[in-house]
Amino acid sequence: MKVDFEIVSGGVQPEIARMVAKIIGTKVLSVQLKEFPNGERYARLEQSVRNKNLFIFCTCATSNSYSLNDALFEAFIIADAAKRASAKEISIVLPLLPYSRQDRKARTREPITAALVLSMLKQAGVERVITVDLHSTQIQAAFSGPFENLSARKLISNKIKEYIHNYQNEDFVVIAPDAGSVKNSSKFANELEIPVIFLPKSRDEANPEIITRQAVQEDLSDKNCIIIDDMIDTGGTIISAANMLKESGAKRIIVCATHGVFSDGAASKIRDSAIDKIIVTDSVPQKDSISTLKDKIEVITIAPLLADAIRSINNGDNAVDID
């Protein structure tokens, strides 16, 4: 493939950009990144990007040396540097769109921060956004330009098929752990040719970490339950679902999510829960704390998915976003 573009990366999870570049057969351009003593961030592209299409990889997640907001701010300034250095077209790769759950006014006097993030990216010079499994696809409307929302469904369902194959004489059922996950869980269930059950969830408005669930109507005795969600953050959603499923007789509980955020304390709560197995992607860096889950967790890389998308965009091929 003729490579008519350049790849650069922010400071969180640069290995993803390197893996993608390797698959494509190119290299990641270097960027000087630093933080001033007062907390301000600095970025400088170390080679020319004049008239080049540029893919900026900026994982926005809290890591050892970054807060999520620092990583996001770095995305703005790398894009601004590229625009001022006359890059031709600037695309940003944000596997997990930061603030993606703040996608609507759920209560009066709230911001819509996901929309604000997208408009700030546009203002910084970003012309295309590439994400993976957006929390809600409607938020694409807040960005006026090409938006490729890739799906990790194939990668994850291939992994689930291995489990189904290993326990081929047993029953499996897909669980949608909340209303927002019904559509996606149903697509998984269709693809895996197994039934889907919806498990309603309600969060306390003032204390969203408080989750309540109704009892499961179905008899799940001896069934393997596959919970599908877009994201594991505090673990509250999946742990409360898993407890309910176990009470209803479930045999094994396998949780699949694209984004394994595992905020502080989540890994140990999950380790001590009814969950038997977790499948996530490397859309965000895996924190040291998840080593406590090492026997339970499998991490699939999204590098080939991102490489394919960049190839298709570069070649002008058909739509790369799949929903």
Which range touches ligand R5P (CB under 6 A), out of 34-42, 178-186, 216-224, 287-295? Answer: 178-186
Q: Check binding of 233 to ligand R5P (CB under 6 A).
A: yes
Given 41, 52, 101, 271, the residue binding ligand R5P (CB under 6 A): 101
Does position 103 interact with ligand R5P (CB under 6 A)? The reply is no
Determine how many CB atoms are found less than 10 A away from the CB of residue 39: 9
In the chain, which ranges are E strands?
A: 5-9, 31-35, 41-45, 53-57, 89-93, 128-132, 147-150, 171-176, 196-198, 201-203, 211-213, 223-232, 252-260, 277-281, 297-300
N residues, the chain: 323
Figure out which of the listed residues 132, 139, 176, 231 binds ligand R5P, where binding follows CB under 6 A. 231
Q: Measure the CA–CA gap between 129 and 167, rounded to whole angstroms.
A: 40
| Binding window for ligand R5P (CB under 6 A); candidates: 37-45, 76-84, 235-243, 278-286 | 235-243
Task: Please say which residue, 106 or 322, places its beta carbon nearer to ligand R5P.
Answer: 106
Residue 146 is given by DSSP the state: -
- Residue 182 CB, shortest distance to ligand R5P, in Å, is 11
Please report which residue ranges of 248-286 form alpha helices under DSSP H. 266-271
Report the interhelical angle of 68-84 vs 113-124 (nearest 10°).
30
Distant-in-sequence, close-in-space partners of 84: CB < 8 Å, separation ≥ 6: none
Establish if 234 lies at the interface with ligand R5P (CB under 6 A).
Answer: yes
Q: Is 60 in the site for ligand R5P (CB under 6 A)?
A: no
Least distance from ligand R5P to the Cβ atom of residue 228, Å: 10
**213 with 200: CB under 8 angstroms?**
yes
- Percent helix, strand and coil across the chain, each rounded to 5? 35, 25, 40
- The residue from 6, 103, 127, 178 that contacts ligand R5P (CB under 6 A) is 178
Catalytic entry in 52, 201, 287, 296? 201
CA dist 193 and 93 (Å) reads 32
Q: What angle is formed at CA 318 by the lines to CA 313 and CA 320, rounded to 5 degrees?
A: 60
C-beta of 124 vs 226, nearer to ligand R5P = 226
Six-digit token string for 175: 């669980």
Q: How far is the CB of 136 from ligand R5P (least distance, A)?
A: 9
Q: By CB under 6 A, is residue 230 in contact with ligand R5P?
A: yes
Binding status of residue 236 toward ligand R5P by CB under 6 A: yes
Of 32 and 212, CB closest to ligand R5P: 212
Contacting residue, 9, 62, 149, 237, with ligand R5P by CB under 6 A: 237
Q: Does the protein bind ligand R5P through residue 180 (CB under 6 A)? A: yes
Q: Which one, 82 or 231, has the nearer CB to ligand R5P?
A: 231
Write the CA distances from 47 to 8, 43, 92, integer angstroms. Answer: 10, 12, 18
Site for ligand R5P in 2-41 (CB under 6 A): none
Q: How far is the CB of 238 from ligand R5P (least distance, A)?
A: 6
- Nearest approach, Cβ of residue 57 and ligand R5P (Å): 23
Annotated catalytic residue 201: yes
Q: Residues with Cβ < 8 Å from 171, sequence gap 6 or more?
A: 222, 223, 224
Q: Is 62 in the site for ligand R5P (CB under 6 A)?
A: no
CA–CA gap between residue 111 and residue 109 (Å, rounded): 7
Shortest distance, position 178 Cβ to ligand R5P, whole Å: 5
Tell me the catalytic residues. 201
Which residues sit at the interface with ligand R5P, rule CB under 6 A? 101, 135, 178, 180-181, 229-237
